[in-house]
Amino acid sequence: MFHKEGYQIIMTSFVIAAAITLGVEFKLDNQFLLKICLQILALTQLVLVLQFFRNPKRETPINENHLIAPVDGKIVIIKEVYEKEYFKDLRIQVSIFMSPLNVHVTRYAISGKVKFSKYHPGKYLVAWHPKSSELNERTTIVIENKTFGEILYRQIAGAVARRIVNYAEEGIQVIQGEDAGFIKFGSRVDLFLPLNTPISVKVNDVVKGGVQTIARLP
């Protein structure tokens, strides 16, 4: 299964791969090695695009006391920070870095009501740059949940990403584990949680979006 945000890119990549594969078959009939190399490159780019936009079905056990990973990736930051856009106070930041090989679907970490949703155009610094959370293209979404209170997550584009898709609109009710958006060819999601939130992961842990618990309350 592939994510709907990738359909156009997948079709374009398929047409390009087919055109190159068939074209060199007839045009380079006497240059076997070059022909094979070009066909392999064309098929490789198609496979990479298909892998990037894959959207595996995930069964999320709804639990109001659990906050789940919104994306697949590696935990790169867990620290206390000052969140200056919405809360304007201290929060625990948990950041998940996505490599090009990860599933890039964003899922709701918790059920609740969307209180805030804002898109910010910006730069395309590498995702691990200290200022990427403030300077890169990004979206900021706040969900109000009766157990955790208000939590904020931020989709952040990276050096390759050029488009963030966000389905969270202010005022709607969302369900834990459902599709919240997509980051095309990018790169990182930050969570900002209340200071007393008991975190269940540590730096360098690899997490699975829509399944793995990031924090749990008693």
User: What's the whole-model pTM score?
Assistant: 0.81
Whether 5 has a pLDDT exceeding 80, the answer reads no
Beta carbons of 132 and 156 less than 8 angstroms apart:
yes
pLDDT of residue 37: 86
* CATH fold group of domain 66-216: Glucose Permease (Domain IIA) (2.70.70)
Whether 186 has a pLDDT exceeding 70, the answer reads no
Q: 13, 99, 187, 200: which one is catalytic?
A: 187
Whether 162 has a pLDDT exceeding 60, the answer reads no
Whether 160 has a pLDDT exceeding 60, the answer reads no
Q: Which residue has the higher pLDDT, 50 or 191?
A: 191
How do residues 10-26 score in pLDDT, each as one tens digit?
A: 798 888 888 888 887 77
Q: Where are the domains of the chain?
A: 4-52, 66-216
E strand map for 45-204:
66-68, 73-83, 89-97, 105-107, 112-120, 138-145, 149-156, 163-166, 173-174, 179-184, 188-193
pLDDT of residue 203: 97
pLDDT of residue 133: 65
Per-residue tokens: 79: 């620290």
Active site residue 132: no
Mean pLDDT of the chain: 87
Q: Calculate mean pLDDT across residues 42-53.
A: 80
Q: Which residue has the higher pLDDT, 75 or 161?
A: 75
Nearby residues of 86 by Cβ (< 8 Å), 6 or more positions away: 116, 140, 142, 152
How do residues 98-149 score in pLDDT, each as one tens digit?
A: 887 888 899 999 999 999 999 998 776 665 555 666 667 889 999 999 999 9
How do residues 64-83 score in pLDDT, each as one tens digit?
A: 999 999 999 999 999 999 99
Residue 195 CA to chain centroid, in angstroms? 24
> What is the residue whose two structure tokens read 């000052």?
82
